[in-house]
Amino acid sequence: MNLTHTSATHDTIRAVQWHGDYLRLLDQRLLPAEEQWIDCRDTDAVTHAIKDLAVRGAPAIGIAAAWGVVLAAKRGQPLDHALAQLRAARPTAVNLMWALDRMKSRIAAGADAAALEREAQVIQEEDLAANHHMGELGAALIAPGSGVMTHCNTGSLATSGYGTALGVIRAGVAAGRIAQVYAGETRPWQQGARLTMWELVRDGIPAKLIADSAASHLMTSGAVKWVIVGADRIAANGDTANKIGTYQLAIAARYHGVKFMVVAPSSTVDMATASGEDIDIELRDPAELLSVAGRRTVVEGAEAWNPVFDVTPASLIDAIVTERGVIEQPSVERMRAVFDA
Ligand code: MRU
C-alpha cells in the first residue's frame, strides 16, 4: 500500500497515447482482468473504439476523436466524412462535439496534418492541466478526514490523466482531506467496480466498493460528507448529464444532508443547451443489462430498457468545479458569469 500520497504518485495511468502514426488505447472493456492495448490506424478504428467503449469517459472520447481526425488527415482521407462519423459515435458527452468543432475550425483555417496533430496534442495537454487544477479547487471544499462517494469512472482512464472527480479525490487524499472513498459499482457496465477500483487500488487509496443500491443506506451512517461525480454535459442552467444513477445519488445526498459536487472541464459545459431536458440521453443495447461478463443472467424473452445517462437538476448540485473556477449553487446567472465572460 502506498502511504505517501502526493498528486504526482497518483498520476501514473495514460490510457490514450499518440504514437506518431497511430493511436494506442487501453481497452477498457477488458479491465481489470486484462491490460490489452488497441492500436487504431484509421478513423474507422477510432470510431469503433468510441462506440464500443474501448475508450470511454467524456474527455477521453473527445481527445480520441481529435486523434481520429489527425489519422484521416495523415492518410489523405476526406476530413468532412471523418468529422461526421466521429461526431455520430456517441450522443451525450459534449466533449466529443467540442473537440471535433475545435479540429474543424483549424481545418477551416487551412491547417495541414502536422498542424492538426499539434492541435490534438494541445487538446490532450490542456485536459491534463485542467484536471490538476480542478483537483486542487475541489479538494479545498472538503473538510479534513472526510469520507466521500463517487460513481462511474472519472479517473485517468476517462481523461488524458489524473481525472475529474477522481482527480479531486486524488488531490483530497494527498492533502489529508479525504480518508475513505466509496465507489458505486455502476451497473450495468461496471465502470465503478472494474475501472475506478482498479485505479484506486493501484494508487493505494483507501477505497471500498458498494453495490449501487447501498448508497442511501451508506449515507444514513454519516460516513460520507460529499458525493463527487463527473459530467458528460453541463447545460447553461447547471443541469448535469452524467452516468445513469447519478440523479438518484443527488436526491439521496440532499435528503441526508450530504453535499454533491460535479467536477468537469469547461469542454463539458454546453452553453448552447438551455437545460437538461434538451440533452440527448444515449440508449444502449438492452443486451448490456441482460448479461453479466458475457453470460446471460436474465430469462430468454425478457426485455430491458438501458438509458446510460441521466440528468441531475442544478438545484441538487452544491458545487460545479471547473478549471475556470467553482460555481456554488449553480444557476443560469452564475454559469453565465463564468462561461459567457
Ligand atoms: O458511458 P461512459 O463510461 O463513457 O460514461 C462516463 C461517465 O458518465 C463519466 O462520469 C463522465 O464521462 C465523466 S468522465 C471524466
* CATH number for position 237: 3.40.50.10470
For ligand 1, is residue 59 a contact (CB within 6 Å)? Answer: yes
Quote the crossing angle between the two packed helices 94-108 and 79-87, to the nearest 10°. Answer: 170
Catalytic residue among 232, 239, 310, 318: 232
For ligand 1, is residue 164 a contact (CB within 6 Å)? Answer: yes
- For the chain, the domain total comes to 2
Average pLDDT value for the chain: 96
Rounded to whole angstroms, the Cα distance separating 61 from 46 reads 9
Is residue 200 a contact partner of residue 207, using CB atoms and an 8 Å limit? yes
Rounded to whole angstroms, the Cα distance separating 242 from 263 reads 11
> Do 97 and 222 have their domain in common?
no
Cis amide leading into 91 (omega within 30): no
Residue-wise burial string across 4-24, b where 16 or more C-beta atoms lie within 10 A, e elsewhere = ebebeebbebebbebeeebbe
Average pLDDT over residues 78-93: 98
pLDDT per residue as tens digits for the range 21-68: 999 999 999 999 999 999 999 999 999 999 999 999 999 999 999 999
In this structure, the residue with its CA closest to atom 15 of ligand 1 is 154
pLDDT per residue as tens digits for the range 243-267: 999 999 999 999 999 999 999 999 9
> Do 35 and 90 have their domain in common?
yes
Residue 255 within a domain: yes
C-alpha cell at 340: 459567457
Any alpha helices (H) in 75-164, and if so which ranges? Answer: 79-87, 94-108, 113-139
At 13 the pLDDT is: 87
pLDDT per residue as tens digits for the range 4-15: 555 555 677 899
Q: Is 232 a catalytic residue?
A: yes
Average pLDDT over residues 214-238: 98
pLDDT per residue as tens digits for the range 14-34: 999 999 999 999 999 999 999
Residue whose cell numbers read 459515435: 89
> Do 198 and 53 have their domain in common?
no
Looking at the chain, how many residues does it have? 341
> Do 94 and 204 have their domain in common?
no
